[in-house]
Structure 1
Amino acid sequence: MFALPPLLPSTRAPVRSLARSLACVALIATGALVALATWYPGHCQVLLLLLPAVWSRARGRASAVAIWIGYYLAGARDIPLVCMRFFSGYGDLTRPEALMLGVSFWIAQACVLATPWAVLKPESDASATRHALCAAVATVLVTVPPLGIIGWLSPAYVASTLFPGWKAPGLVLGITAIACAASVSRGRFARQVATVLVILSLLARGVASAPVVPSRWTALDTRLGRFDQSSYASLYARTQQVQTSAQRAFSEGATVVVLPEEIVGLWRPAMGYWWRNDIQAFAAARRTLIVGMDLTASRTPLRYTDSAVVVGADHGRLDSRQPVPAALWRPSAAVSAIRGSLSQPYVTVAGKSVAFSICYEDLLWWPHWRILQQSPDVLVSLSNSWFDADLPLAHIQRQGVAAIARLSGVPLLRAVNR
C-alpha cells in the first residue's frame, strides 16, 4: 500500500490558517447563540457563565475575543435600526446616514467591550488563579465607567439569577461565579469554590420571594409615539392626552401614578400653566404623579436634564445619571442632556422610599449602586421606546431592569411610552 506523503511546509500554513479562521467563526457563532439564549428571545441568564468558560479554553487572543465579539454583536443587534429611526425621526440625519452611523456604533461597541477580554487573556498554560482573576477584572471593566457607559449585556447580570435578593454581596458572588467558570477546569480549588457557590445559589433561590408593589400604585404604558415639540399646538395636544390618562388612573382608585420618560417633553412656562390646576387638585386629593420630563439647565448652549419629577401630594426629582450616549448625551454638541449626580438620594413618595431607573439606565449596573446597598420600597422605571418598541432591544431593556430589581429584592414598577 502507498502511504500519503506528508503535507509540504508550504501547504501546512494555509491549512492551519484556515483552521484558525474556522475556529474563530465557530466562537463568534457560540457567542451569538449565548446572547440569543440569555436575552430576548431567550431568558436564561445563567448561560452567561458559558462565555468565560469558553474564553478561558480558547487558544490565542484572537480566538478568545471572538466569542465576545459574537456575543455583543448579537445582543446589541438593534443598534443600526434604532439609530436610523431615532436620528432620522428628529431630522438630524437622513435614513441612510443614520443607518450607517448605527452600523458604525454597532461594530465599535462590540470591539470596545471585547477589548478587555482580549488584553487580559492569559496564556493557555497559565494557572487557574490567573484565569479567574483576569475574568473577574474584565467583568468589572465592562460593567463600570468608562467602558461601563456602554456596559449593556454585562456578564455580571448572572448574579441576579444566581443570588436573587442578595444585593451587593450577590453581585460580588456573581462575579466570583464568572471567575470560577473561567478556571473550574484548571484547578481543584476553583471546583471547590464552584460547589460552594452552587449551594449558596440554591439557598438564595429557595428563600427568595416575589416583592409586591405598594397598593394603589399604578404605572401607565402609553402609545403616544414620538413627541413633536415644534409648535404650541402639538405641545398642548400632548398635554391633554397625558392629563387625561393620569386623571383616568386616579379616578379608578390609584393614589400614585407613574408616567413614562420624557412624556411631556421639555418643561416650559406654558406647560406649568397648563398643569397648574391638575397639580393643585392632585395635592388636595392626596394623590401623587411621577412624570418624565426634560428640565432646562442652561440656555446657551442648551443643556437639560432627563428627569423623573414628583408632583401633587409629594415633591421630588431625580435626574438621569446616564442619558443615552450620542442620542441625548452629547457633551460637545449645541444641545445635550447632562448627567445627574450619582449621589442623588431616594425620593419619598406616599411614605415609601423610591429608587428610579430612567430609560437607558435600565441596561446598566453602575447607576444603581445605592439600590444594591440600601433597600428602597420600590424601583420605578420610566422609559420612552417610541423608536424600538417592536424590536428585541425593548425586551432586553425590560430584562435588564428586572434583573436589577430581582438582585436588590425590590418590586419593580415600569411605565413605557411606545
Structure 2
Amino acid sequence: MRHDWVWPTQLIIASVGVGTVAWSGKVLLLPLALGFPVLWALSTSRFAATLVSAAYFLSVSRGLPQGAATFYAADIWPGLLLWLAASASFVAVHALLWTNEAGPRPGRYVLVAVLMAVPPFGITGWAHPLTAAGVLFPGWGWWGLAVTTAGLAGLVSRLWPAVAIGLTGFWLWSAAFWTDPKLPEAWRGVDLELSASLGRDTSMARHRDLIATVTERASGGSRTVVLPESALGFFTPTVERLWIRALSGHDVTVLAGAAVVGAAGYDNVVVAISAGGGRILYRERMPVPGSMWQPWEPLFGGKAGAKAHVFANPVVAVGSGRVMVLICYEQLLVWPALQSMLGDPDVIVAVGNGWWTKGTSIVAIQRASTAAWAKLFSKPLVFSFNT
C-alpha cells in the first residue's frame, strides 16, 4: 500500500525538478527535458501519469502567473487560472495516450510528440523535449531531429537506461565544444529596456530616439538592423513616411515589430523599412492565445484580437536572402521553427516584447529554445528584445 503513493510521489517530485532545471533558460540544460518521457513511462497508472505530466508542464510554465498578473495589472488569480488552462491540452494528450504495456509505449509516445508539435494541441506545446535536439546534435539538421525522435521512443521502452546513457554521451560531447549561434554579417539586433512604454508611446520623440539608435548601428557597418516586437506601435502611412525620410541617405534596412489594424482585428507583424520604402515583411503565425489571439470573441459580438496566420509566410525575403522570423510566443513552439526550416532560411530573426516577464525566466527560455533550433540547423541568429 505504501508503494502505491510513495513511487508516484517520487515521480512527481522528479518531474518538477526536470521541468524547472531543463527550462531554466540555459540552453545547455535543455537535454534534461528528455528525462520527462522516462518519468511518464515509469508511471504505474494513468492517474499517476496525469500528475507527472501536470507537474512537468506547470513547473516549466511557472513564470506565467506572475507574468500574466504584470501584463493585466491585476492580482495573481487570473494568472493562476491561465496557468492551469494552458496545461490542459498537454496533460490531456499525455494522460490519454499513456499505457502500462511496454510494447506499444514507444509508438504511443512518438504520437504524443507529434500531436504536441503541431496544431491544434501544438498551440500550447511548450517545453517539447524535441527542442533538445539542437544541443544533442548541433549541425545535424533533420537527421538530428530524427535521431532525437528515435531517442524519445527508446526512453519509454525497456531499453531506456542504455538509450539514456547514449544520449548523455552526446550531450556531454556537445557541451564540451559548444558555441553560441553566429550573428550574420552586417546584421545587428537591438535590445531595448523601455518596459511597457514600447509600442504604447507613439510620440515623435520616441520615433526619433529609435531612428537615432538605428542610424548609430548603421554607422558601425550594420546593413540590417532589427528592432523588437511592437517597436513602431501601429504601422500607419504616417509612420512609414517618417521612417523612409529619416533613413534617406543611409544604406540600411530596418526590421521592426509593429501592429496593423483591420476591420476584424489586428496583425502582429514585422515590417521592413529602408530609404526605398516600407512593407509588411511577416505576419505572426501564432499570437499568444488568450491575451492576443481570441478566436471565440466573434461568437459574442467582439473582435478576434490578433489574427493567427498559422501556416503562412514561414520564410520571407530580405534583399537576396531568405529569413525565418519568430515573434515572441512562437519561440516556445515547435511547428513554426520546423515549418520555416523546410524553406532553408539563411538567417533566423527572433524578436519579442517581454517587459511583462520581468522576474521570470520566460524570455531566457525563449532565447534558449530559438538558439537550440539555430544550432540544430546551423543557422545564424539575430535576437531583439524589449524588457
TM-score of the superposed pair, with normalisation by structure 1: 0.82
**1:28-177 matches, cutoff 5 A:** 28-40=12-24, 43-88=28-73, 95-96=74-75, 99-123=76-100, 126-127=101-102, 129-177=103-151
Superposition deviation, residue 382 in structure 1: 0.8
Partner of residue 351, structure 2: 382
**Partners of 2:3 and 2:88 in 1: how far apart?**
23
Does the aligned pair in 1 maintain the 2:25–2:366 contact within 8 Å? Answer: no
Partners of 1:201 and 1:398 lie apart in 2 by 19
Matched, 1:270 2:238: yes
Deviation at 1:335, TM superposition (A): 5.8
Pairing partner for 1:261 from 212, 229, 244: 229
Q: Following the alignment from structure 2 to structure 1, what is the Cα–Cα distance between the partners of residues 68 and 374?
A: 28
CA 1:46 to 1:229, structure 2 compared with 1: closer, same or farther past 3 Å?
closer
Deviations 1:300-340 (A, max 9, x none): x4x11111111116765011100111111112143611022
Provide structure 2 residue ranges, at least 5 long, that are not aligned to the other structure: none
Taking only aligned residues, the RMSD between alpha carbons, in angstroms, comes to 2.8
* Higher relative contact order, chain-length normalized (CA < 8 Å, sep 6+): 2
Q: 1:213 aligns with which of 144, 159, 183?
A: 183
Q: For residue 243 of structure 1, report the CA deviation from its aligned partner.
A: 1.5
Residues 202, 25 of structure 1: CA spacing in aligned structure 2 closer, same or farther, 3 A cutoff?
Answer: closer
Classify the secondary structure of the residue corresponding to 2:194: coil
Aligned residue for 1:44, secondary structure, equals helix
Q: Contact conserved, 1:167 with 1:373, CA < 8 A, in 2?
A: no
* SS of residue matched to 1:354: strand
Work out whether residues 31 and 129 of structure 2, in 8 Å CA contact, stay in contact via their aligned partners in 1: no
Code of the residue aligned with 1:263 in structure 2: it is A
What is the aligned partner in structure 1 of residue 325 from structure 2? Answer: 356
TM superposition shift of 1:200: 8.2
Aligned residue number for residue 305 of structure 2: 336
Q: Tell me how far apart the structure 2 counterparts of residues 23 and 195 of structure 1 sit (CA, whole Å).
A: 23
- How far apart are the structure 2 equivalents of 1:208 and 1:74? 27
Deviations 1:134-170 (A, max 9, x none): 1111122222111110111012112222222222332
Aligned to 2:287: 323
- CA distance 1:254–1:157, change in 2 (3 Å): same
Letter in 2 for 1:121: W
Is the CA contact (8 Å cut-off) linking 1:308 and 1:318 kept in structure 2? yes
Q: For residues 152 and 229 of structure 1, do their structure 2 counterparts lie closer, same or farther at Cα, with a shift above 3 Å needed?
A: closer
1:222 pairs with 181, 192, 202, which one?
192
1:240 Cα offset (Å): 2.1
**Which is further off, 352-361 or 328-337?**
328-337
Task: Give the percent of matched residue pairs that are identical in Structure 1 and Structure 2.
Answer: 27
Between the aligned partners of 1:382 and 1:53, the Cα distance in structure 2 is 34
TM-score, length of structure 2 as denominator length = 0.88
Q: Distance in 2 between matches of 1:44 and 1:26?
A: 21
Compare CA radii of gyration and give the structure with the larger one. 1
Task: Tell me which residue corresponds to 1:249.
Answer: 217
Is the 8 Å Cα contact of residues 25 and 66 (structure 1) preserved in structure 2?
no
Match of residue 7 from structure 1: none
Give the C-alpha shift of residue 203 in structure 1: 9.4
